[in-house]
């Protein structure tokens, strides 16, 4: 079995992770065996073992890959904006865009598999901290009205966590992407100066 070297991927391995990600986003990962994945991707199990030593760890690697790509896309969207109100809207809308290809099956698989859920929870906390910084920047620049930053950030973080857990989808019927779009609209309109 090939030794897995975290963070050092060949171009072929990166391409394979991208293909796995597309497959998992569409169909989830819990129903697949390593044999299924090897057949689906037309590669050997040894090739998959080079990415991770088990199917479970492979799922975690793919979820990490998803968030790494999503973070780059989200931060790129924010970097293109110069106005503080547009930066926070760009952030939350880019999160919605990143979640759009994720099927309910994929999100349910992440929610029920503790190691993958942990990756999602960690990224949700990071995202909530990033939103807090964007709110603070907007208040300091006088683009946003004065609010209790800690409270606003905590409210947004709880909503993001409810989206991540699937609570919002169950209660409202909104997809995760739609929920993030609604959150972006709500946050932006509640923070703007009148």
Q: What's the domain range around 138? A: 11-191
Are 106 and 62 contacting, i.e. CB atoms less than 8 angstroms apart?
A: no
- Is 65 inside a domain boundary? yes
Handedness of CA 11, 57, 161, 180 (dihedral sign): positive
SS3 assignment, position 166: coil
Domain count, the chain: 1
Asked if residue 1 is part of any domain, the answer here is no
The whole-number pLDDT of residue 52 equals: 94
The model carries a pTM of 0.84
The answer to whether 130 and 48 are in contact (CB under 8 A) is no
Q: Which two tokens stand for residue 133?
A: 């910084």
Stretch 34-41: mean pLDDT, rounded? Answer: 95
- Residue 52 belongs to domain with CATH number: 1.10.357.10
Max Cα distance, the chain (Å): 62
Residue with structure tokens 């865009």?
97
**pLDDT tens-digit series, residues 145-168:** 999 988 988 898 889 889 888 899
Q: Is residue 5 part of a domain?
A: no
- Asked if residue 6 belongs to a domain, the reply is no
Q: What is the pLDDT of residues 121-146, one digit of tens each?
A: 899 889 889 989 999 999 999 999 99
Q: Do the beta carbons of residue 52 and residue 58 sit within 8 Å?
A: yes
- Give the three-class secondary structure for 11: helix
Residue 4 falls within a domain, yes or no? Answer: no
Place 2 in a pLDDT band, splitting at 50, 70 and 90: very low
Is residue 83 domain-resident? yes
Q: What is the pLDDT of residue 27?
A: 96
What contacts 127, CB < 8 A, 6 or more positions away? 74, 95, 160
Q: For residue 135, is it within any domain?
A: yes
Q: Is residue 108 part of a domain?
A: yes
């Amino acid at each position: 079995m090939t030794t897995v070297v975290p963070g050092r991927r060949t171009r072929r391995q990166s391409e394979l992770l991208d293909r796995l990600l597309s497959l998992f986003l569409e169909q989830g990962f819990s129903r697949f065996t390593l044999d299924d994945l090897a057949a689906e991707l037309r590669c050997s199990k040894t090739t998959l073992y080079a990415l991770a030593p088990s199917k479970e760890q492979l799922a975690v690697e793919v979820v990490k890959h998803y968030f790494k790509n999503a973070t780059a896309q989200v931060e790129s969207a924010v970097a293109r904006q110069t106005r503080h109100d547009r930066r926070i809207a760009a952030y939350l809308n880019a999160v919605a865009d990143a979640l759009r290809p994720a099927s309910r099956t994929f999100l349910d698989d992440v929610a029920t598999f503790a190691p993958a859920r942990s990756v999602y929870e960690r990224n949700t906390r990071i995202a909530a901290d990033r939103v807090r910084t964007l709110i603070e920047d907007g208040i300091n620049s006088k683009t946003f009205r004065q609010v209790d930053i800690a409270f606003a950030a905590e409210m947004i973080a709880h909503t993001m966590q409810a989206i991540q857990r699937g609570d919002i989808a169950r209660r409202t019927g909104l997809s995760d992407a739609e929920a993030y779009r609604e959150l972006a609209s709500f946050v932006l309109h509640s923070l703007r100066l009148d």
